Chains A and B, each alone.
Chain A
């Protein structure tokens, strides 16, 4: 994979670029909006990490210009903290995800992974989700594994739905808190873990394989 990191803070840029390279990706860094826009339009990237606050041309302008020119490269926006309306604004302008600083590298990596997939999925919104022998009927709000009905609380249903949509990929605790509870920060406690272990109890207990895996230092992954 090839990524473009547009970030004016050299420390943060280095933190991201090094992480990506160690993961075996190629990464270019741009230190302001103008350079970033130039690279984004002249080269081809799988995804762009874009800081919102940039000298010369700011992140929002870069994003609008790219989208205006029909460039659909997935964009992960970075922001300083406490900018709820900025997040909404960023997503409206065509960002695929939003990450508040400071973040752990595992968080960034999981989110990049998620938006890469999102870009390639497309198509109509499904009414059923299936991962291996686990099925979720979004209309009837029903979950089954090997045809056996699993009783879920509404919150557990949303949790499972999100995990199934991201099947095979790592989702972090922050991503779960965001998608299932709609709060945006790193919870730093094991409170999400308890919800996951309850869900795991329901979907994995009594079955041959454990589908819901814990990924050390990152989060969870649902696999067939």
Chain B
């Protein structure tokens, strides 16, 4: 199963990482472009200054002086990146370095736009250096070429690119980490809600989400969530209180009614006794239901047993099966027992009653001649008790409901029983920190009771 929170965190991490990368590319690209332009402009300024100086030299001192100066500069350069050449109108080099002619230069055609800037990768240099060059037409239709190898600029640019690439990767990784940890943090906060909601759903009504009083959105959500749970708990307690009070208050008049019916019974003719007996039986059933309701209320209200004495469960299971064997045998039902010794801190009477109620249901709903399986096992994950019958089972949607007070399956409405048996089972199991589940035994019902290890 895919955990939606995990996939959210993956999405969030990717998103943050990509945003970081995009922001870096936009910013880095802008800076790179601006710096490159500035570097080239500086280079051109140098080239322009040099060519102007040489043009002035020719004007002042004549052509041969220019040729001499160019030769001089080529042989003993002040600046290793500077390159100078003078070509005649046919493009033949008169002096200087082997600089390329500007594009569009045609031999003998003095029509090129001069001065002209051009750029090329110079194949005559060892490193194929990018050269920024300027061609200036001289009065004799020759051309002065001044070039600058942009080695320093390109080196700087390359360095800038490398640094930018590394920084970009770091930013993307940081984004990934940030997104992931943010998502993890959010997920862990939401996980707390999820876990609490699940446990409360299973019946741990007293559980709450932890609040940190920070007042942030999660804290507020936690407080609202807890408030909601408080309200639900109060409502549930109210319902329980009402039923319990009714049970308590009605017991006295009901007992009185019962005793009067009983007294009357000895006064009436035997013919009328049968209907009085039926009335007495129903009163007794009511009293028994009230008694069960009150006992249930007391178990639910009692705090969870913590320092209770150890109870050996195998004798309880054996006793319960022995107690039920005659009832089962009357209908040809056989009870299989597989019990290994196990101990649980708790109340032997409650646990025994839990077993009786489970067996009672199993016998009640088993077909005649069926088999009932009772297992008690001490597993690494705790103690497990299972009671399996081969009856009609309980449809999946009804399984949670049958634990509620007076809830009985529609199909069992006619049969005797108070509808409190499974409520009591659940109350006892919870009182001992355990969980009870109803499973399909195909066909039949498997009631699985798990108690956590100590």
Contact = CB atoms under 8 A, between A and B. Distances in A.
A189 B288 CA distance: 10
Given A188-B288, A191-B323, A84 B295 contact: no
B291 A102 contact: yes
Nearest to B431: A82
Interface in A61-120: 80-82, 84-85, 101-105
B288 A183 contact: no
A18 B256 contact: yes
Contacts, number: 100
Interface in A155-201: 155, 181, 183-191, 194-195, 198
- Size bin of chain A's contact surface: 20 to 34
A38 to B, nearest CB: 27
Given A186-B291, A217-B283, A191 B298 contact: no
Given A80-B298, A183-B348, A198-B326, A188 B252 contact: no
Contact of B353 (A14, A23, A187): A187
Contact of A194 (B298, B326, B347): B326
Given A84-B347, A102-B291, A186-B295, A181 B323 contact: yes
Nearest to A174: B291
A102 B349 CA distance: 15
A105 B255 CA distance: 7
B403 to A, nearest CB: 17
Nearest to B420: A188
A198 B329 CA distance: 12
A216 interface: yes
A22 interface: yes
Contacts of B298: 80-82, 101-102
B347 A188 contact: no
Contacts of A102: 248, 251, 290-291, 294-295, 298
Interface of B is mostly: helix
Contact of B327 (A85, A104, A194): A194
B288 A82 contact: no
B360 A191 contact: yes
B424 to A, nearest CB: 9
A181 B347 CA distance: 15
Given A22-B259, A185-B353, A195-B323, A15 B252 contact: yes
A11 interface: yes
Nearest to B263: A22
B6 to A, nearest CB: 44
B422 to A, nearest CB: 13
Contacts of B319: 181, 183
A104 B287 contact: yes
B277 interface: yes
Contacts of A80: 298
A23 B262 CA distance: 12
B348 A84 contact: yes
Interface in B226-253: 248-249, 251-252
29 contacts: A14-B252, A15-B252, A19-B252, A19-B259, A22-B259, A80-B298, A81-B295, A81-B299, A81-B302, A82-B299, A82-B347, A82-B350, A82-B431, A84-B309, A85-B309, A102-B248, A102-B251, A102-B294, A102-B295, A104-B255, A104-B287, A183-B348, A186-B295, A187-B353, A188-B418, A194-B330, A216-B281, A216-B284, A217-B281
The 10 closest A-B pairs by CB, nearest first: A102-B294, A217-B284, A81-B298, A194-B327, A194-B326, A105-B255, A15-B252, A183-B352, A184-B349, A185-B349
